[in-house]
Amino acid sequence: MDVFVTALLPLAVVVIMFSLGLGLTPSDFRRIAERPRAFCIGALNQIILLPVMAYLIILIFGFTGETAVGIMILAACPGGAASNIITKLANWDVALSVTLTATFSLTCVVTIPIILDVAVAHFLGATAPEIDIASTAITAFLLTALPITLGMMLRAASPAAVAKIAPTLAKVAMGLFVAVIAAAILSNWQVVTNNITHLGLGLFALIVALSVIGFAVSRMLGATDPEAKTIAIETGVQNGALALAIAGLLIANGPTFNAYAIPAALYSVVWLGSALPAFLFVAKSS
């Protein structure tokens, strides 16, 4: 089962990011200049609020060591396609959602290594393993920026063909993600059950705090109601598959599902079991 996770996890992340790229055009990024206020508020939430809230949750719940580092890795990963889907169902600001997701999926090549380096030094101190920041940045690039760029290039070259394959590929991507998370959990069931109560509650608190505070901060800074709700979803939804992949690479020649990866795997369980239904309920009620 561990071999299954190791083999499919990077593939799942790449397919998810490639599928995201297929839905993007250069105009999605031009919206940054057209709507700087909304984008800057979203950037503030993603780059500042998210890691700060993750750190506060770590302190409040008393998480330490590898678990704390794993939570910070999760906080460094941007939202995924799920936030776009929820925003579309709710008829909120889909254009803003797509722009934020795409932009931070590209810039995480820089933010993930930085946050990871700081988190490892802070929470592990002298016991910290040696982290190759350059290697982490390259890995993040290969898992995110490259497949997104290739997806955009393919759409620009063959828009008609992409229109036919994109829906199917999106379903394949989600299927791979669910399969990998399920395999990771089943192959490490004892580890999951030992951590689900305390860590699961902490991750749930993180999702709720980010969503509520993300909305409140956005409204305070002048975002419209649909913009604030969109930013809140983008802030509260993290790419668990990417976090799991990054965490799995921290121990050289070690297992993919290591101590750093537990928060990412449990996050997916918590999100799918509680946060996703709640988000969908809010979306349908809007």
Average pLDDT over residues 95-121: 86
More confident call, 32 vs 81: 32
Q: Which of 207, 208, 238, 234 is nearest to 223 (CA)?
A: 234
User: Mean pLDDT over all residues of the chain?
Assistant: 82
Average pLDDT over residues 128-136: 72
d(CA 78, CA 88): 18
Whether 82 has a pLDDT exceeding 80, the answer reads no
Q: What is the pLDDT of residues 146-198, one digit of tens each?
A: 888 898 899 888 988 888 888 888 778 777 777 777 776 776 677 777 777 88
Average pLDDT over residues 243-265: 76
Please report the pLDDT score of residue 256 as a whole number. 62
Average pLDDT over residues 65-88: 84
d(CA 25, CA 106): 14
Q: What is the pLDDT of residues 13-71, one digit of tens each?
A: 888 888 888 877 887 777 778 778 888 998 899 888 999 999 999 999 999 888 999 99
More confident call, 72 vs 99: 72
Please report the pLDDT score of residue 4 as a whole number. 54
Please report the pLDDT score of residue 268 as a whole number. 75
* Interacting residues of 27 by C-beta distance below 8 A, sequence separation 6+: none
In which band, very low, low, confident or very high, does the pLDDT at 205 lie, cut at 50, 70 and 90?
very high
Please report the pLDDT score of residue 78 as a whole number. 81
Please report the pLDDT score of residue 102 as a whole number. 83
Whether 202 has a pLDDT exceeding 90, the answer reads yes
Whether 2 has a pLDDT exceeding 70, the answer reads no
pTM of the predicted structure, to 2 decimals: 0.85
More confident call, 253 vs 117: 117
For 194-225, the DSSP string reads: HHHHHHHHHHHHHHHHHHHHHHHHHHHTT--H
In which band, very low, low, confident or very high, does the pLDDT at 283 lie, cut at 50, 70 and 90?
low
**C-alpha dihedral sign at 244, 280, 225, 204:** negative
